[in-house]
Copies of this chain bind each other. A is one copy, B any other.
Amino acid sequence: MLIRPATRDDAAAIWSIIGPTIRAGETYTLDRDLSEGDALAYWFSADKEVFVAADVDGVVLGTYYLRANQAGRGAHVCNAGYMTGAAAMGRGVARAMGLHSVDHAKARGFRAMQFNFVVSTNERAVALWQSLGFDIVGCLPGAFDHPAEGFVDALVMYRAL
């Protein structure tokens, strides 16, 4: 697996990954009906660095972005969002992107990384981030309206770099 900066040429591959995740609406607080153009504009917004994870044949398996979580005197803490294609689940893509993002964030000089909104029912993600050294530092009661489970908690997770 190779993790490299994304280019605009990756847009279609990235949409094939983030589109189904957005439509499912179970893990991100994005409008489920977001158009391809608006979704890609969000993913590639000017404040973000975007990466893709590709297999040996160049097939994109996952994508993540990294950005400062706040401006001004909070800009030493970064934030990231990750999505893995359904076909690539269980192959360690998210873990590899997580490790890559931590290394890249350190190289960029960030002092910590924060996830603002990890849906508590996304147990695979919570466990993955904990295994990468993130602590649950906050719990937002009922902050996510899960399509199947109704109002569930969202977690704030954080680690020093």
Contact = CB atoms under 8 A, between A and B. Distances in A.
Interface of A: 25, 28-32, 70-77, 111-112, 114, 116-117, 137-147, 151, 154, 156, 158, 160
Contact of A72 (B32, B137, B141, B160): B32
A138 B137 contact: yes
A72 B112 CA distance: 27
B144 A74 contact: yes
B114 A140 contact: yes
Nearest to A32: B72
A143 B72 contact: no
B158 A140 contact: yes
Copies of this chain, complex-wide, total 2
B137 A140 contact: yes
B138 A139 contact: yes
A28 B70 CA distance: 9
B144 A73 contact: yes
Given A139-B138, A141-B160, A156-B156, A117 B70 contact: yes
B140 A73 contact: no
B29 A70 contact: yes
